[in-house]
């Protein structure tokens, strides 16, 4: 990736970043799940976590009881709202349960883009650590959601040497699609997408139009580009799943993706089936707003949230190491005597040379923890102790 100028950042939170419009679209895609016929069982007393609800809206035991049936499927799709920790714990429960069943698994993840597969492989194989994996896959530039949401899944995969497959197309391609549509891509850009783009699912198009209509002042040509971005994601991820399973005929795959890509099978599942056939199951977290029929199984997730992210209270520039460009008044950094211009060298005795390393190191602490930081100031190496603050949810 060719990087642009370094951006000012707050440790633990990206600041002052002009995100592409397609990221805003991605964040409203859960609206694809909103139907007119919500689950009656959820309107009454909510069932306990990991209760399974069928496509007909009836309770059918627990996730544990469903596992033998899932183990017979070649592909198991498990949806998520990206920011919901309970959804990721459900995904982990499915993976862990299938691994106990003896299924030869791979995990496909929307959150990683295909050019960075070798770094995922290196992490799973134990050749690089978590911080290097996050840096090399450009997690904080390309996906941006809090890595702690996904960490239990990645660590479980590494512990059990379960391959993790990067499913998504390069963001540079979908950025171009959002500007000029698939038809406007250069031949080199178009070659990064699957040759066939299936536009035949009219119900899917209508649901996407309802999402799009949430944005005021948009035109029909804007909608066509919006559709093209969604189709680019769906077809590219479906191609990634199909390619991997063709190359690994004994493998089953658990696909982790936003529920909008999975509901009714319209986004990824039917596109994979078009390529390789096979049997699959779709699981979507069962919460208010979902309706019977959008998945084979709706499973009640845990209602759990991550603790707030810890913050040092500094703004940084990462064009050459980690340089402090500002200190938040009243923060732990200010109280510890950190200054604008200081170069951050280490946290808790461990070196930090990149934004990914800094985020990964800080993620191991909680707000209120006291940490020792090593920094360079005008040629002198100093150590300070500061108390971490909390990022707003």
Domains belonging to the chain, first-starting first, are 13-299 (3.40.50.11550), 307-390 (2.30.42.10)
β pairing state of 280-285 and 75-80:
parallel
Lowest mean pLDDT among 192-201, 214-223, 331-340: 214-223
> Coil, helix or strand for 39?
coil
> Coil, helix or strand for 44?
coil
pLDDT bucket at 38, cuts 50 / 70 / 90 = low
Sign of the C-alpha dihedral computed for residues 35, 291, 40 and 27 taken in this order: negative
pLDDT at 46: 76
**HSE-CB for 299 with a 13 A CA cutoff:** 30
> Coil, helix or strand for 88?
helix
**Tokens representing residue 58 in the block:** 């009836």
Sign of the C-alpha dihedral computed for residues 169, 238, 282 and 74 taken in this order: negative
Kindly state the greatest CA–CA separation across the chain.
Answer: 69
**Tokens representing residue 358 in the block:** 């800094």
pLDDT at 218: 76
Closest CA to 97 of 61, 125, 70, 60: 70
pLDDT bucket at 355, cuts 50 / 70 / 90 = confident
Mean predicted lDDT score pLDDT of the chain: 89
Q: Are 298 and 46 in contact (CB under 8 A)?
A: no
Whether 141 has a pLDDT exceeding 70, the answer reads: yes
Q: Tokens 């699959």, residue?
A: 280
pLDDT at 44: 66
Q: Are 15 and 8 in contact (CB under 8 A)?
A: yes
**HSE-CB for 107 with a 13 A CA cutoff:** 31
Cβ count near 125 (within 10 Å): 11
Q: Which has more confidence, 34 or 192?
A: 192
Whether 22 has a pLDDT exceeding 60, the answer reads: no
Across the chain, how many H-helices and E-strands are there? 15, 18
The neighbouring-strand residues paired with 282 are: 77
User: Average pLDDT, stretch 40-63?
Assistant: 85
Buried b (16+ CB within 10 A) or exposed e, 261-297: bbbbbbbbbbbbbebeeeebbbbbbbbeebbbebbbb
The neighbouring-strand residues paired with 256 are: 78, 109
pLDDT bucket at 393, cuts 50 / 70 / 90 = low
CA 325 to chain CA mean position, Å: 29
Angle 311-358-136 from CA coordinates, rounded to 5°: 140
pLDDT at 29: 53
Closest CA to 259 of 305, 222, 210, 299: 299
Cβ count near 338 (within 10 Å): 23
Angle between helical axes of 117-124 and 151-159 (0-180°, round to 10): 60
Closest CA to 94 of 61, 71, 110: 71
DSSP 371-391: EEEEEEETTEEEEEEEE-EE-
Burial of 230 (0-12, 13-18, 19+ CB in 10 A): buried
Measured between alpha carbons, how far is 260 from 28 in angstroms, rounded to an integer? Answer: 9
């Amino acid at each position: 990736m060719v990087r642009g100028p370094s951006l000012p950042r707050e440790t633990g939170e990206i600041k002052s970043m002009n995100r592409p419009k397609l990221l805003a679209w991605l964040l409203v895609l859960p609206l694809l799940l909103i139907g007119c016929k919500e689950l009656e069982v959820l309107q009454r007393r909510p069932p306990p976590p990991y209760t399974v609800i069928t496509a007909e809206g009836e309770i059918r035991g627990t996730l544990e009881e469903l596992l033998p049936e899932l183990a017979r499927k070649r592909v198991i799709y498990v949806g998520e709202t990206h920011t919901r920790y309970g959804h990721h714990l459900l995904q982990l429960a499915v993976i862990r349960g299938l691994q106990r069943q003896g299924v030869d698994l791979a995990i496909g993840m929307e959150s990683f883009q295909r050019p960075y597969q070798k770094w995922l492989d290196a992490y799973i194989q134990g050749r690089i650590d978590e911080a290097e994996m996050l840096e090399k896959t450009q997690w904080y530039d390309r996906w941006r959601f809090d890595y702690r949401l996904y960490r239990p899944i990645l660590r479980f995969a590494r512990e059990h040497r379960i391959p993790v497959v990067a499913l998504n197309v390069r963001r540079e391609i979908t950025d171009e699609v959002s500007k000029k549509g698939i038809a406007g891509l250069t031949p080199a850009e178009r070659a990064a997408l699957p040759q066939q783009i299936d536009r035949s699912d009219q119900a899917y198009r209508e649901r996407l139009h309802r999402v799009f209509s949430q944005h005021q002042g948009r035109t029909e040509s804007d909608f066509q580009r919006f559709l093209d971005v969604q189709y680019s994601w769906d077809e590219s991820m479906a191609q990634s799943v199909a390619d991997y399973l063709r190359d690994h005929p004994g493998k089953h795959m658990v696909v982790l993706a936003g529920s909008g890509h999975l509901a009714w099978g319209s986004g990824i599942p039917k596109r994979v089936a078009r390529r390789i056939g096979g049997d699959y199951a779709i699981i979507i977290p069962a919460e208010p707003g979902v309706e019977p029929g959008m998945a084979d199984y709706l499973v009640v997730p845990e209602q759990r949230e991550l603790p707030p992210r810890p913050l040092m209270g500094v703004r940084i520039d990462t064009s050459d190491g980690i340089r402090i460009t500002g200190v938040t008044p009243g923060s732990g950094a200010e109280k510890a005597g950190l200054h604008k211009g200081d170069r951050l060298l280490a946290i808790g005795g461990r070196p930090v040379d990149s934004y990914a390393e800094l985020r990964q190191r800080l993620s191991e602490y909680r707000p209120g923890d006291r940490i020792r930081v090593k920094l360079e100031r005008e040629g002198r190496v100093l150590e300070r102790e500061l108390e971490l603050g909390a990022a707003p949810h």
